[in-house]
Each structure stands twice: as structure tokens, then as C-alpha cells.
Chain A
Amino acid sequence: MAELLQFVITGLSVGMVYSLIALGFVLVWKSSSVANLALGQIVLISSWFTYSMLAQAELPVYIAFPLVVLFAMFLGWVIERFALRPLIAQPILSLIAVTLGIGYFIEGVITFIWPWSVDALPRLFPREVIHIGPAVISQEYVWVIVICLVVFVLLTVFFRYHKMGIAMRATADDQMAVQACGIPVTRVFSTSWMFACCVAAIGGILISSIGGITHGLVETGLKAFSVVILGGLDSFAGAIIAGPIIGLAESLGGGYLTPYIWAGVKDIIPFVIIIIVMCIKPYGLFGEERIERI
């Protein structure tokens, strides 16, 4: 029983990490239906920037974090303004390929500035763990869960009530009509990219405080894709629920199946689930079903 509880708690907390990154992905998809393949690199570069602020410049946390957020917003603005805006109204696959190029570029910048390529953030959270019955959870994960939920609530409220949020939703629905209504589509795009990079940066800080800053963050960013798909590409709620589902599947599946199958089964369980879900619900658990016309 203690084992089960530990598996559940681990699964939920790890899943929240995926959710957090997935939110950044959904943000961009929701307003411009671009799949951001550079997400992992954005996570990585924000982590390195945080490292520079905290460990190299030795700024206190309350100054460093706003700077990181500013940096991430700037990054998002630059990406949108210089790489994606020239491609408005071009085939969507070209836009996706551009994010691929951006990913390589950012990777180069990282090698350029931080060539030693592995390091650790100063410890942000106390090392003592929190006991829940017989199970334990480390404080980093508690923070991940709290921050993830806060970001989710903020985004939901923003998209529901704020003028810009409504404009974003409208843009996702029909770009032409929105343009005709006088909504500045370009500004909508750049705002969504700025937000997406912010969320990715927050995710980056939290993950790198858990496992250090390495190139592995890029692939963790990619793993968020599977979460997004499971939840539905355009749903925040989907991302926030699918994350823990994936985490749970990994943790429970790994926990109980590993003795019977080859080791490392936990790494592919999410993907098996994805294929099954795709066959049953092609638009994810919460994705918007599109009614097609000929």
C-alpha cells in the first residue's frame, strides 16, 4: 500500500512538470496553430539564463526571477517578430520547420555562451522532504504543482476575461474574420509567443532545480508533446489533466510492469497510451473536435 501511494504521488508530481511545459506549447498552438519544435531549447536557454543571474551574477532571487521572465518575454518577442511574422499566410509546415531552425540556433547560442554545458542551479528549495503518510515528496515537486496550478488559473482567467485573451481565442478560430474586425493579429501572435516563452522559462527553472541543467532538458521539452496531444492541442485544461495522467501511467506502469517486461518500460508507456487514445479520441481528451466541410 505504501508503495502504491508513493507511485501515485510520484506520478502526479512528475506529471505536473510535463503539464507546465505543455502549457507553453498549447499557448502558441491556440493562437496560431504552430507546433513549436523549439520548445525544449527555449526551456534550456531560460534555465541557463537563470543560472547566470543566480550563480554567476549572484543576484538575489527576487531580482533574478523577474529578470528571467523579462528575458523570456524578450526571447518570445524576437522569435515571433523576426522568424515567424515574415511567414504569416505561408504553408503551416514551413512555420513548423522555422521553429526547428530556431531550435538549432538557440542551441548554438547556448554553446556559445555556456560552453561547459552542465551545471546546477543554486539550491532553491530546502532538501527536507514532506511526508504524506508512508510516502515522501520533495519540496521541489510541491512547488512545481503549486506554480503549475497558478499558471493554469492565470492563463484560463486571462483567456476568458481579458481583451487580449479573447482576441487570441478569436484569432485561433478564424484569422481572416479577426483581421476584418480590426484585431491586430500580429500583436496577438507576439503576445502569445511572449507568454509561451514565459511559461517555458518557469518550467525550465523548476526542472533544472530538480535535475540540473543539461542538454536533456531539450528532450524533456519534447516529451511535453505527448502530454499535449493526450490533452488536446488547444486545451489548457487538457494539458493540466493529461500531465498527471501520463505521469501516473509512467509511475504505476513502471512500478508494476517492470518486473515482467524489459527494463525501462516506463519510458514508452506514455507513447503506448497516446496511440490508444488517438484511436479512440482522435482530438485528445479535451481537444476541440473539428467539423469538416468539403
Chain B
Amino acid sequence: MSLPCGTRNYNYAEDMGIVRTKTHWVLLIAFLVILFTAPLYFGNYWLGVFNLIGITLIAAIGLNILVGYCGQLSIGHAGFIAVGAYTAAILTNRLEMPFLVGLIGAGVVSGLIGIIFGLPSVRVKGFYLAITTIAAQFIIIWVINHWSLTGGFVGIKVPYASIGGLVFRSESSQFYLIIIIAALCVFFAKNLARTKVGRAFIAIRDNDLAAEVMGVNLLYYKLLAFFIGCFFAGIAGALLAHWIGFLNAEQFSFTESILYVGMIIIGGLGTSIGPIFGVIFIRILQQLLTMELVPFLESTFTNFPAGFATGVTPMLFGLVIVLFLILEPRGLAHRWALFKSAYRLWPFSY
């Protein structure tokens, strides 16, 4: 059990509690305080990075539910994010609906599209299913590019997010909006895994035949997983749309989809903390490499050939991913669990 020695359950509510000990509470509150006062210590640039991380995190959580919990490999997540982003853009820009309607609408439409492309999952699994999601990605982008409602190749503008009279203009206000929604999503995902639905997902992932024999309705739960996963993607897309302010289908590339899968694998599949680690790791790594390392190399090693500084970025990025997986194939979440138990047992680890 992952609880410190001496923590006992006296009733069911306690047993189900997420936050159990005083240390937990202290750490949680400290973390939240730091998180919500972040705009005080960070400039607009870093807040922008955090916003990007928050948005990516929401999408990654959705993908983790789909891939990590339910075992349905999807390599078309950027396509579903695009659906959400464009739905939000169309609802708020063309139909001039309020932001919240756009947000929920984005999630629902994206989820429904997810169900459509999830239908083959009833018969197909593993890598064969992955290809139908790749197909989804390309078909979605093609439709967006050619449909008049989406602005086609020209693209579409998206207004600021606003709730009532409150307009999220500044980077810090957007930060609060995104972080609160991301926190809600994390909380939802954490709890989902512990409900009947979550257990059904895990049963399907581990062996879908066995799950079916035990009475899990495969069709229902697989499509539900697609709906939830894509719903989150849609929410992330809507936030992305309001944050960037302008949409063009080129922003939702296939490489982005692959990267999302990479993020949750590096973080640790099928854990609630995994996507958080994975997203932060990949996004921060990207930022550090492009924003800090490349200009530094460019200005320091002026004698090297032209491709030196820029070639280093993807090389290091790839290298870190490879090394990471070689050293910790079960993802950062596993390392985190090891750390926790080591911390608890310290200094008598045996």
C-alpha cells in the first residue's frame, strides 16, 4: 500500500479519500498556493509557457484515459483538438455565442466526432486501431481546410475568452482560467479511474475478451472512452483557440499527434500523475532547447557549420526521449512512485 505506516481506514469514506495524511494536506495546499500565486513571480513569457502546458495537459489527460486506461491506441489526437478549437471558434466568432457555450460545445462536438472514428474499435485493436485514428486526423484536417464554415485555408479569428463581463485579456488572467480548468480535469480523471467506468476501462485494456465475458459492455465502454478522451481534447482545443486567437489547420499537425502519444508514454501510461509529468517534461524541454540552448550555441560557437545550433535541438530532444525510455521504460510516474516509497522508508530502505 502506498500509505505511510500507521495510517488506518476507519470507514469507507476514509478508504476512498485521495488526500490522507497531514503531510498530504500541507503539500497540496502549498502546491496550490504556489500555483495560484505564480503570476506574481513569473513574467508573461513563462506564464505563456504555463498556459501552453495547461492546455496540453488537458488534452494529454484525455488521451491517457483513452490509451492508458482503456487501451485504445489513438494517434490522431491533434485532429480531435482541431475539432474542438474550430467548434469553439465557429460558435464564438460566427454565431457570437458566449465563451462557456463554445467551450462545452467544443468538448461535445469533439467527443461525438471521436465516437464516429472510434466505431472501428469495436472490431479492431492495437496498432490497427491506431491507423484508423491517423485516418481520422487526416480526414478532419482535410474537411477543415475545405469547408467554408471553418474559414478554409484562410483561417479563422477567435475572440478573447470571457465569462459574463469578465474578459480574459492578460496572460495572467488566462493563466487562472486555464489552470482552473486543467485542475478540474485532473481531478475528474483521477476520480474517473476509481469509478465503475474506470474499472471497466482497465478491464478492457488488460483483456477485452475477459472483460466482455465478465459482463462489461465493450461497445458502450469503448465508445465512452473515445467520447471522454475526445471531449478533453475538445476542451483543450477551445482553450487553445482563445489563447492563440487565430486558427489555421496547419497548427494541428500529425507530428503533434505523435508527440502527444510520446508525452503520455514518457509520463507513464494509465496513471493519473503520468500525463502531468510527461507534458511538463516535453514542453519544458522544447522551450529550454529552442529558447535557451540554440541561441546560446549560435552566439558562442560561431565557427561551427551552419546547421550546428539548429541541428542540436531535435537531436537532443530525440536523445533525451530515447535515454529516458531506456532508463525508465515505465515512465516518470513509476520513478515518482519509487521515489515516494524510498522517501517514506528512508533511511531504512530494506
Taken together as a complex, chains A and B put the C-alpha atoms of A102 and B324 apart, in Å, by: 12
Chain B positions within 8 Å of A284 at CB level = 128
Report which of B123, B127, B135 forms a contact with A272, defined as CB distance below 8 A.
B135
B209 touches A104 (CB 8 A): no
Chain B positions within 8 Å of A91 at CB level = 269, 329-330
Taken together as a complex, chains A and B put the C-alpha atoms of A275 and B207 apart, in Å, by: 23
- For chain A, residues 46 to 103, give those with C-beta under 8 angstroms from any C-beta of chain B: 83, 86-87, 90-91, 93-94, 96-98, 100-103
Taken together as a complex, chains A and B put the C-alpha atoms of A107 and B322 apart, in Å, by: 14
- Is A174 among interface residues, defined by CB-CB distance under 8 A? no
With contact pairs A104-B318, A219-B254 given, residues A271 and B134 touching in the complex (Cβ less than 8 Å) = yes
How close is B191's CB to chain A, nearest CB, in angstroms?
A: 25
- For chain B, residues 294 to 350, give those with C-beta under 8 angstroms from any C-beta of chain A: 305-308, 310-322, 324-326, 329-331
A267 touches B142 (CB 8 A): yes
- Is A108 among interface residues, defined by CB-CB distance under 8 A? yes
How close is B84's CB to chain A, nearest CB, in angstroms?
A: 20
A83 touches B269 (CB 8 A): no
Task: State which of A128-136, A198-206, A225-233 sits at the interface with chain B.
Answer: A225-233
Chain B positions within 8 Å of A271 at CB level = 134-135, 138-139
Taken together as a complex, chains A and B put the C-alpha atoms of A115 and B134 apart, in Å, by: 30
B325 touches A225 (CB 8 A): no
Chain A positions within 8 Å of B138 at CB level = 267-268, 271
Q: How many residues of A contact B (CB 8 A)?
A: 53
- Is B120 among interface residues, defined by CB-CB distance under 8 A? yes
Nearest CB to that of B142 among chain A residues?
A268
A108 touches B305 (CB 8 A): no
B209 touches A294 (CB 8 A): yes
Taken together as a complex, chains A and B put the C-alpha atoms of A93 and B330 apart, in Å, by: 10
- Is A114 among interface residues, defined by CB-CB distance under 8 A? yes
Nearest CB to that of B131 among chain A residues?
A229
- Is A262 among interface residues, defined by CB-CB distance under 8 A? yes
- Is B181 among interface residues, defined by CB-CB distance under 8 A? no
Taken together as a complex, chains A and B put the C-alpha atoms of A102 and B321 apart, in Å, by: 8
A278 touches B131 (CB 8 A): yes
Report which of A105, A116, A219 forms a contact with B322, defined as CB distance below 8 A.
A105
A274 touches B207 (CB 8 A): no
- Is A279 among interface residues, defined by CB-CB distance under 8 A? yes
A274 touches B132 (CB 8 A): yes
Report which of A83, A110, A293 forms a contact with B326, defined as CB distance below 8 A.
A83
With contact pairs A108-B315, A108-B317, A278-B123 given, residues A272 and B139 touching in the complex (Cβ less than 8 Å) = yes
Taken together as a complex, chains A and B put the C-alpha atoms of A293 and B207 apart, in Å, by: 9
Chain B positions within 8 Å of A113 at CB level = 307, 311
Interface string of B230-263 (1 = CB under 8 A from A): 0000000000000000000000001000110110
B321 touches A112 (CB 8 A): no
B210 touches A294 (CB 8 A): yes
- Is A159 among interface residues, defined by CB-CB distance under 8 A? no
- Is A263 among interface residues, defined by CB-CB distance under 8 A? yes
With contact pairs A272-B139, A278-B120, A278-B132 given, residues A97 and B321 touching in the complex (Cβ less than 8 Å) = yes
Chain B positions within 8 Å of A107 at CB level = 314-315, 318
How close is B136's CB to chain A, nearest CB, in angstroms?
A: 8
- Is B213 among interface residues, defined by CB-CB distance under 8 A? yes
- Is A282 among interface residues, defined by CB-CB distance under 8 A? yes
With contact pairs A101-B319, A112-B315 given, residues A274 and B325 touching in the complex (Cβ less than 8 Å) = no
How close is B30's CB to chain A, nearest CB, in angstroms?
A: 33
Q: Which 10 A-B pairs have the closest CB atoms?
A: A108-B315, A115-B307, A105-B318, A104-B318, A112-B311, A101-B321, A271-B135, A108-B314, A111-B311, A262-B146
Contacts from A to B (Cβ < 8 Å): 35, 37, 83, 86-87, 90-91, 93-94, 96-98, 100-116, 219, 222, 225-226, 229, 233, 262-264, 267-268, 271-272, 274-275, 278-279, 282-284, 287, 292-294
10 contacts between A and B (CB under 8 A): A37-B258, A87-B329, A101-B317, A101-B325, A105-B318, A108-B312, A108-B318, A113-B311, A264-B146, A279-B119
